[in-house]
Chain A
């Protein structure tokens, strides 16, 4: 049977986010296949897969939640969106740019625009669905946004580890109060 493990997510702490857009820039460069200065010098159009938003007095980047029952994957008519190695992946060659995924994503995490130089033919705008892919395939340990955030507002959360830590913390609290109760009993 397939081992069941939740998709990891990039978690943003709105109390720490300064709104510097550093994560956006890092994301765009990480997916450009080149360095910051080179990309700027050659005038590449790059798109970050996250977006810093400010609303209701809160500021933080929003990006793909890697939904377990992903509406984008369910809606995608060509099977371009799919569950794949711990994330919701995009098979770019299958994407026709129909934007159904854009419409069903509750977070606005997907964009479909063309990048780089102008499309070569009049048949295509060269638009492909782009969203956070946790920097898979960029060869880095941590997603670029997490690495770049100067205030450590971003973290890559493996939900099993996250849950394990939570459980242990609560259990430790419980243990402490039990001990407390026991010692009180002993004293009485």
Chain B
């Protein structure tokens, strides 16, 4: 069996050290898990009740039904929509957290927070149809928070969630409404998935998958509101030059890695760290405090404040093996429980912060918005304290770091385009798509998976799409991998972009004052920020008077692994976007579900899943899809 590890150059330095020190990494554990259970890979194993577990023989010789009578189609459909529910739950909890914080700020209860971007708050209010005339900022914030929280409370099944209604094209809303998949209440829809997949409930694979699509759209709703309200609270991203990969860890600083997904804590940690810099210097760190990011918490602070990104999902452990991370502060999602054990092999303080996310062996500092400043101070003090215990002989920071220009939210993309045409900023983009200078747009979304050599599929696909003049956006760990591999630079544009794409990116970049082209891939933020890409697409579609499934727009998750990715991929399909997966989804044990997702979806929704594990072929297939869409539009 050939093992796929990673293409991250830092790993070559650090994995031998891990081996020497007897520290096991995600790749060691992946190897120990081989070969992996085939029933699980096919999705035909059911553990929903205690008569089970049941597993269906996928090859027709053994049992074809579980003890209750559920067949492979039912079991696969149930399993996959439960994953969607989990993904939607993660994103929408994040969203609820931000919405409640906004409400707290409006009521003046949260001294650690304020509205940093009033213009964005007003824009959000307008988008939600909230009248703001004569209202002050706290009143607008209160109204926005109320309308947002309604998406978790509304009990009228026929009234769709406020955010989704404000975020899609009219045609799309009608199409989804006709299929009865528009969510009315995020919590209710997630609960409904759990209810319908209970033993002895919904057994019709088509009905189950439609329920899952509704859950995925609830996920989309949660992401939209999380992104937009975070911008109002913490500032809307704008282009900033920073760096990525483990070389951003500094030998002479107190290094604090912020890891997870939620900006509520990391924002305050960044702020407090600035105030406590002197204390770090007194403790002997002549470069003061150095904050670095990991995963999406990292992306959040990267696009907003230019804080460098140390690692994406699969290299989070490598950050610890440098021996120079003094504290790893984690909140929610994508945190490997192994970090506390690896932290303990060094002097690193691994600090959990959320009541619902603790890790055995980690220090827990309870985080509440009301007392955020104190928590942040305790966290930074713990890091400084740990720094004093650091063993300099065990410090191995790989000499790899790449420049990355990041922070392309909708506002900054439109802002950059406005330098070309202030009256009608989208016009230059649309023109260039129409005349073929830009063949299409591809959105790369998050995750690393041990099923793929880390970052390799992202990089291979991006180079090929760039050469074929496809404009690329990225979020989450996908964005992390492009940043780490130097594809978010102007040099990358000059080196890899096809001639016409290069010309367009250069024209926009130059007129936006970047002294050269825009980077090859535009970093839009964390995985909840996939909603930003949809916003751009909706704006373009509205302007052209078409729906999303007509645009030459594709999405790809070449190294997908999380339940959140299942949710994102599914809403992407539901919005009409052909969506590539580069890892095998656990559904192939049901021919019906596979067909539903890869073929039937095309007729129902316009979007569909396209599974291709080979990144080169995947890029070709996406190019074909783009050309097919262009033909449909007559361009």
> With A and B bound together, what is the CA distance between A148 and B40 in angstroms?
13
Interface string of B22-48 (1 = CB under 8 A from A): 000000000000010111011000000
Which residues of A in the span 37-75 have a Cβ within 8 Å of any Cβ on B?
Answer: 37, 39-41, 43-48
CA distance A24 to B62 in the complex (A): 10
Q: Which residues of A contact B511 (CB under 8 A)?
A: none
**A171 contacts the other chain (Cβ, under 8 Å)?**
no
A28: interface (CB < 8 Å): yes
Chain A: CB-nearest residue to B611: A37
A139 to B37: give the CA distance in the assembly, Å: 21
A154 to B384, CA, bound (A): 52
Known: A44-B59, A46-B59, A48-B61. A26 touches B591 (CB 8 A): no
The one of A26, A37, A46, A148 that contacts B42, using a Cβ cutoff of 8 Å: A37
Contact B588 A25 (CB under 8 A): no
Answer yes or no: B589 CB below 8 A from chain A CBs. Answer: yes
Contact B58 A21 (CB under 8 A): no
Contact B61–A21 (Cβ < 8 Å) = no
Q: Is the CB of B58 within 8 A of A40?
A: yes
* B457 → chain A closest CB, angstroms: 17
The distance in angstroms between the C-alpha atoms of A28 and B591, with both chains bound, is 18
Cross-interface CB contact of B61 among A37, A39, A46, cutoff 8 Å: A46
Contacts of A147 in B (CB 8 A): 35
**B55 contacts the other chain (CB 8 A):** yes
B609 → chain A, closest Cβ, in Å? 13
> Looking at the complex, which one of A25, A41, A43 makes contact with B38 (CB distance below 8 Å)?
A25
Q: Is A134 an interface residue (CB 8 A)?
A: no
> Which chain B positions have C-beta within 8 A of A113?
61
Q: Which of A22, A39, A150 contacts B59 (CB 8 A)?
A: A39
Asked if residues B59 and A45 are in contact (CB atoms below 8 Å), the reply is yes
CB of A169 closer than 8 Å to a CB of B: no
In the complex, are the beta carbons of B37 and A47 less than 8 A apart? no
**Cα A113 to Cα B60 with chains together (Å):** 12
Within A15-44, the residues touching B (CB, 8 Å) are: 20-22, 24-26, 28-29, 36-37, 39-41, 43-44
Establish whether residues B60 and A21, one from each chain, have CB atoms under 8 Å apart when the complex forms: no
Q: What is the CB-to-nearest-CB distance from B588 to chain A, in angstroms, rounded to a whole number?
A: 4
CA distance A48 to B39 in the complex (A): 14
In the bound complex, do residue B61 and residue A43 qualify as a contact, i.e. CB atoms below 8 Å apart?
no
95-138 of chain A: CB within 8 A of chain B: 113
Instruction: Establish whether residues B55 and A28, one from each chain, have CB atoms under 8 Å apart when the complex forms.
Output: no
Determine if B38 and A26 form an interchain contact, defined as CB atoms under 8 angstroms apart.
yes
Interface SS of chain B = loop
B-side contacts of A36, CB under 8 Å: 38, 41-42, 588
Q: Which of A21, A39, A41, A45 contacts B39 (CB 8 A)?
A: A21
Report Cα–Cα, A182/B588, bound state, in Å. Answer: 68
Q: Which residues of A contact B240 (CB under 8 A)?
A: none
A33 to B591, CA, bound (A): 20
**A26 and B35 contact, CB distance less than 8 A:** yes
Q: Which residue of A lies closest to B584 (CB)?
A: A37
Name the residue on B nearest A46 (C-beta). B59
User: Is B594 in contact with chain A by the CB < 8 A criterion?
Assistant: yes
Which residues of A lie under 8 Å from residue B38 when comparing CB positions?
A: 22, 25-26, 29, 36, 148
Chain A's nearest CB lies how many Å from the CB of B47? 13
Q: Which B51-66 residues have C-beta < 8 A from chain A?
A: 55, 58-62
CB distance from A46 to the nearest CB of B (A): 4
Find the A residue at minimum CB distance from B591: A43
Contact, CB under 8 Å: B59 / A47:
yes
A37 to B594, CA, bound (A): 11
Residues of B within 8 A of A43 (CB): 60, 591
Given the contacts A36-B38, A150-B37, A41 and B59 also touching, CB distance less than 8 Å: no
Can you list the 8 inter-chain pairs with the closest CB atoms, starting with the nearest? Answer: A46-B59, A25-B38, A45-B60, A37-B588, A40-B58, A40-B588, A47-B61, A36-B38
Residues of A within 8 A of B (CB): 20-22, 24-26, 28-29, 36-37, 39-41, 43-48, 113, 147-148, 150
Knowing that A40-B591, A41-B591, A148-B35 touch, tell me 9 more A-B residue pairs with CB under 8 angstroms: A22-B37, A22-B38, A37-B584, A39-B58, A40-B588, A43-B60, A43-B591, A147-B35, A150-B37
